[in-house]
Structure 1
């Protein structure tokens, strides 16, 4: 059977739309590679392709066939509706210096800017005005005296702030904050926007909808996957109520059986929380996302720590090297960071040689890597009855693949 082609659209974080022709037999990685070529960059490891399935966003497993995630009508070429994928940030890093590719950096900034517009941290209202000033400097440069409104409040503030204060108030007071940033480069303004946006807890977060009982999806629980751990909220009557914040060191393990997830962690009532996903496919997607997010946290933690220790020197180099968001970076802009990457890569390479070990501690003794669950991930696709107490973290046999992804970040 020939690999018949179909057309779909991909929406980028900056709301641009790309049309792509893909094959019915293509896997997620094939689509991702084609998209990278269209964007003229191979540096998108922090991003994933998302599709709306069962009325919930779902990241594609790049190793699986694309057709698994799309409607049968698309496979039969009878769908009258346009099939849409979304390029979204799947893994968050606060320090934008870890993303040196200019196109990836622009898309990362655009994603966070969109998330700030949807943010609802009412107690931090003042921060949104400062973030708007950073975004204006990044997008428009220095604030010049004008006799007209030079920006739309809806493009830089969440709806609830615009509704509360009105356009006139925002247009009157925001330019003063913008003028204070005169002379700041676009790249520095974007960097500061990204760093400050992380203080809004609902921004660097991917939300999954689960339920407390297997057959009651309306009993909604929201699980947020962040770079620092998991956040759990409930949504009675549609109003989100924060319940638990679970940093990685507090989580002992996650066990799963088909759609059933049981989280064991310090700080939980009776030390555990039982939740149910919408389907086995959603279960696998969530487990993989949690595993990879934690692994990325462990691998980048030494880099981030050293960058913070030497923040003054490296930040000055980054800001004054003449690079902007729309310029290409050369390999020799930040040479000291290459040595940091080499150190981390040596640690990871040495660790991957221990594939037969039954457990392993990396950097944080509370967080264990346990070998063996890769077979389970394949089995849960076939049956909801499979029950294995799998670990929270990515199996050792997958370390090499993740190491390659981190290498592609071009951290230097």
Structure 2
């Protein structure tokens, strides 16, 4: 037992929700063993959009799960000390419905929450307020009526207004720009407008809105153009690019009529960045059809709701005056104004059939959306 214990290594995996998982693996373990332990601990079959990452030279690099862990931890792997890894989003999505597990959805949400707090997108103040409202609905739930309102009365007023901390929902620059009191005054109004929205729906709404920020749903890598120049942050789009074979830390990207040459920390960094780009491209190609299908379902639901609202408004225009109903029946079908309202069976059959078709379409649209959410 003692010999076997010496051959085991302990890896701590930090999750986006600040939870940590302790994994015990063999000396010759590969990244897959840690991933399997994480899946087993979370009770899910696939993390889909997540990968295991390591902090190297103050930068996160995603592990190749086929490689041995010794390759990433170096000499420290031989020592029986705690090793730290991170479970981070590897592939970002615009629609959370593509994530099948609700647990993985929540982890994805928590990482985006941290990204939003670090956002420097100064042109999207309104969106940041809406994101804060969605986050409050997802975490706090429905705002109680009167909560967050400015009532008279000293301490009671202070307690009711501050049911959240601005630092937990807004980037520091926005707090400095608008002030805490402004955020505490106006955020509850937007939060209150989401009353009745389920927490799961609020999470999906947050995920979709966060993708509109310029610096939230992105992975950043630090590179330099000339070897002696300071580092700068660069985002690498995945379309219309040709990535050339690596030459040490040299990293070449060719677009249609131009070529960009960068240098990373090392050949190790370049290799893993290239693999991340390749994996991302493969992931987006494979999920393209599912993303289009979900978008079509959402468009169908929107069209259906708008059509239904238009029909309701049209029907209401005809029954504003109940007296007109009997007059219309007499005019069209010869029914007596003084007698009971009787319409031909064919008319009732048509009305019932249309209503049945409408209800059926409603059930189909809603069920498909719900099945996609689950």
Q: Shift in Å at residue 253 of structure 1?
A: 4.1
| Matches for 1:33-182 after TM superposition, within 5 Å | 33-77=36-80, 82-144=82-144, 145-146=146-147, 147-182=160-195
Paired residue total: 297
Q: Contact conserved, 2:246 with 2:271, CA < 8 A, in 1? A: no
Q: Shift in Å at residue 294 of structure 1?
A: 1.0
1:251 matched to 2:241? The reply is: yes
Q: Which runs of 4+ in 1 moved over 3 A?
A: 252-255, 312-317, 333-338
Aligned to 2:334: none
1:52 counterpart SS class? strand
1:308 matched to 2:295? The reply is: yes
Q: Contact conserved, 2:53 with 2:63, CA < 8 A, in 1? A: yes
Q: Shift in Å at residue 312 of structure 1?
A: 3.9
Q: Contact conserved, 2:128 with 2:170, CA < 8 A, in 1? A: yes
Q: Contact conserved, 2:238 with 2:281, CA < 8 A, in 1? A: no
Q: d(CA) in 1 for partners of 2:202 and 2:7?
A: 46
Task: Name the structure with the higher helix share.
Answer: 2
Q: Shift in Å at residue 18 of structure 1?
A: 2.2
Q: d(CA) in 1 for partners of 2:303 and 2:74?
A: 50
Q: Shift in Å at residue 139 of structure 1?
A: 0.9
2:12 counterpart SS class? strand
Q: Contact conserved, 1:153 with 1:170, CA < 8 A, in 2? A: yes
Q: d(CA) in 1 for partners of 2:205 and 2:178?
A: 25
Task: Name the structure with the higher strand share.
Answer: 1
Pick which of 87-96 and 160-169 moved more. Answer: 160-169
1:61 counterpart SS class? coil
Q: d(CA) in 1 for partners of 2:35 and 2:79?
A: 22
Q: Contact conserved, 2:8 with 2:24, CA < 8 A, in 1? A: yes
For the aligned residue pairs, the C-alpha RMSD in angstroms reads: 2.6
Q: d(CA) in 2 for partners of 1:68 and 1:252?
A: 28
Give the number of the structure whose alpha-carbon radius of gyration is greater.
2
Q: d(CA) in 1 for partners of 2:254 and 2:84?
A: 36
Q: Contact conserved, 2:297 with 2:369, CA < 8 A, in 1? A: no
1:84 counterpart SS class? strand
**Compared CA separation, residues 316 and 76, structure 1 to 2 (3 A):** farther
Aligned to 1:286: 273
Q: d(CA) in 2 for partners of 1:336 and 1:198?
A: 21
Aligned to 1:406: none
1:11 matched to 2:24? The reply is: no
1:273 matched to 2:253? The reply is: no
Q: d(CA) in 2 for partners of 1:25 and 1:271?
A: 44
- 5+ residue gaps in structure 2? 148-159, 305-365
With the length of structure 2 as denominator, give the TM-score of the two structures.
0.73
- Equivalent of 1:187, from 200, 206, 210? 200
Q: Contact conserved, 2:13 with 2:23, CA < 8 A, in 1? A: yes
**Compared CA separation, residues 183 and 59, structure 1 to 2 (3 A):** same
Aligned to 1:392: none
| Matches for 1:221-232 after TM superposition, within 5 Å | 221-224=232-235, 230=236
- 5+ residue gaps in structure 1? 225-229, 231-245, 318-332, 339-409
1:36 counterpart SS class? helix
